[in-house]
A = this chain, B = another copy of it.
């Protein structure tokens, strides 16, 4: 049941989130639609609401970096971690497949043909950094964004703190947090902040015609930033909160 929740929560996240990326980017092409269908604020709002709705749907983590951090620093059991991560990745993969099907015609138009798939539209599904950024810079940017995310999640769920949010309001706080991260730390790397949000759709793109390049580009960027940096950032964000601000009983707070 929990695994099913993780699957559906991540599915909701990816359908609405990558859907927003597709709509804003593809809709900015005059060959697709006469009027632009959003801007960067739409992307921030869309992803932030997608995260909130995914968490409402699942009542869970929908993010391997969160799952691992909660297993490390809270009492979430390690034996559930592999199942959680598998469900999240599978949700991300299926969500990306649904959105790819929905927008494939518009992708054809923007790419210039049915068989053409380049990194230009691969970036609608998984994250790639802006060209000028070194991988070390990108690592730090992802690390920082995910640390802020986990710091915020810990603060919203610290049950003995006066600013702990009640369960139904937690996703609203998360909406604020994700929007602020998208607005302040999203430009350079596309704020993956979630390995499943990035890897699930990336596998899908590799399979439907984008090929190996989604993995090999920039010296295997995909593993350093959207995966390792987010997992490390989540650890440090949680640790920072716990060391300095945590008010709960040690190691017994479960998310939600």
Show the binding face of A for B, using Cβ within 8 Å.
4-5, 8, 12, 15-20, 22-28, 32-33, 35-42, 44-46, 49-50, 52-53, 55-57, 59, 98-99, 101-103, 105-106, 109, 130, 132-134, 137, 140-141, 144, 148, 151-152, 155-156, 161-169, 171-173, 175-177, 179-181, 183-188, 240, 244-245, 256
Contact = CB atoms under 8 A, between A and B. Distances in A.
A46 B180 contact: yes
A134 B99 CA distance: 16
A51 to B, nearest CB: 10
Given A35-B40, A37-B40, A162-B167, A56 B187 contact: no
27 contacts: A8-B245, A12-B148, A16-B148, A19-B184, A20-B184, A22-B184, A23-B183, A27-B40, A32-B130, A32-B187, A36-B39, A39-B39, A46-B180, A46-B183, A46-B184, A49-B179, A49-B180, A53-B177, A56-B155, A56-B173, A59-B161, A98-B144, A102-B188, A105-B132, A105-B137, A106-B187, A163-B171
